[in-house]
Every structure is written in structure tokens, then in C-alpha cells.
Structure 1
Amino acid sequence: MATLSDVRRIAAELPGSEERATTGGAAWFVRNKIFAWEGHPWPSIPAAAREIIANELVLVVKISDQIEARALRHMNPAVFLPETTKWSEPKIAFRMEGIDVDHLGELVIEAWRLQAPQYLRREYDAQHPAVN
């Protein structure tokens, strides 16, 4: 089971990554663009997802497109939540208790890559050649 400490550790290794406290909890940004955040049960979220978010630790990350979101939900519907809100699409929300740390790392790093400028992605790639 992954924790917010795991998210913090992973994000700390990403160039330009910055954690901020927000109204909804912790959030991670790169160059003022959000790439991951702690889920919060906002009233605009459909009731079923809102109930899960209110009772469990849920992380939300940016993804490349809605096709990826559908694939993740299909792969593991017990972990990946149905749509939440249209805000900050495309994104995927998932139950942290159902994600192992390796998969969490993949999701957070890919979310960061989607938001990071090219020079920061190149810096990361130079430091982690096996990941490329």
C-alpha cells in the first residue's frame, strides 16, 4: 500500500517539483502546473466517488488522455475511481490502499512529465537513463 510519504519521496526526486498545501490537501506542482494532488470530497464530485474520497486516501494525477483513464479503470476498477469532475482533465483518481509503490511511481512520474517543461524532462532523463 502506497502512502503520501511515498508520493512526497517520489516527487522530491523530480526536478522543479514543489509540494503545496491546498484547501483540499497536499498537491504537487512543476512550474506552477499541478500534476498530482490529494483527493478531496468536493460537492461537485458525483456522490459515489465523493463517498470514497471522504473515507479513504485518494490521489489524483494528470494523465495523457481519457483513453488512458478508461484503460486504467478497466484494468482495475476497484482501485481507479470513475470520473470525478471535469476540472483539470484529463486526470485519474485512485485509492492509495490499492496501489503498490512501483505503480504509484509510474503514475506520479508520468503526471510530472506531462506538466514539466522539456528542459526539466531532459534533466530528469539524464539523471535516470534506465527510465527512458
Structure 2
Amino acid sequence: MVTEDDVRALALTLPETLEKPMYGTPAFYVRGRWFARIREEGDVLVLPVGSEEEKAGLIAAEPETFFTTAHYDGHATVLVRFGAVGAEEMGELLTDAWRLRAPKRLAAAFDA
């Protein structure tokens, strides 16, 4: 199980990541584009994914880990329960979300 502090530490290891509030909760940005936000509950992370199909696939495959709410209907955004993932998986999820939002050159340099 990861904590808010774990999420923060993992997110801030990614290049050019900054933390600043979004809707009064901690959020993480790469060059001004958000890629993760901790929800009000404090144990749920909001992440962008590649498509609504990918979102549906994650939720169908692991409903104890991934879910959504009506607020996110129509958006390629998934919710992740902190208690259902370990640090390694959370790091991978954050990195994938970061890659989606990072400028192409920055992501390519990171992957090189």
C-alpha cells in the first residue's frame, strides 16, 4: 500500500515535475500540464490514460484497483486506490501518465 508521501516522492522523481494545488489537493505537473492529482479522500489518485478504451480495460481487469465516477465519464481519466497498489506499480502508473503529458522531446530524453 502506498501513501500520499509515497506518491509525492515517486512523482517528484520525474523530470521537470512540480507540485501545486488543483482544487485544493496536491497535483503534479510537467511543464504546466497536470499528470496526477490526489483526490480529497487522500487515498485515491486521478491519472490520465491514453484513451477511454484503456480506462475501461483497466477498470474491467482490476476493479479493486481502478475505478471511475460519473464526474469522469467521457474523459480518459482513471482513479487508482492507494491501498491496492505497491510502490513499484504506482511508480509505473505515474511514469505512464507523465509520458502522456510531457512534451515529446522531454519524454524521449527521459526514455533514452
TM range (shorter): 0.7 to 0.9
What amino acid sits opposite 1:118 in the alignment?
A: K
Structure richer in strand, relative to its length: 2
- In the alignment, structure 1 segments of 5+ residues that lack a partner are 41-53, 127-132
- In the alignment, structure 2 segments of 5+ residues that lack a partner are none
| Equivalent in the alignment of 1:43 | none
Give the TM-score normalised by the residue count of structure 2: 0.88
Alpha-carbon RMSD = 1.9
- Relative distance call for 1:88 and 1:35 in structure 2 (3 A) is farther
| Equivalent in the alignment of 1:44 | none
Give CA-to-partner distance per residue, 1:85-110, whole Å, 9 cap, x none.
24892110011111111111111000
Q: Which 4+ runs in 1 deviate beyond 6 A?
A: none
Distance in 1 between residues matched to 2:83 and 2:66, nearest whole Å: 11
**Which structure: larger Rg?**
1
Q: Does 1:80 align with 2:79?
A: no
Give the TM-score normalised by the residue count of structure 1: 0.76
Tell me how many residue pairs correspond in the alignment.
112
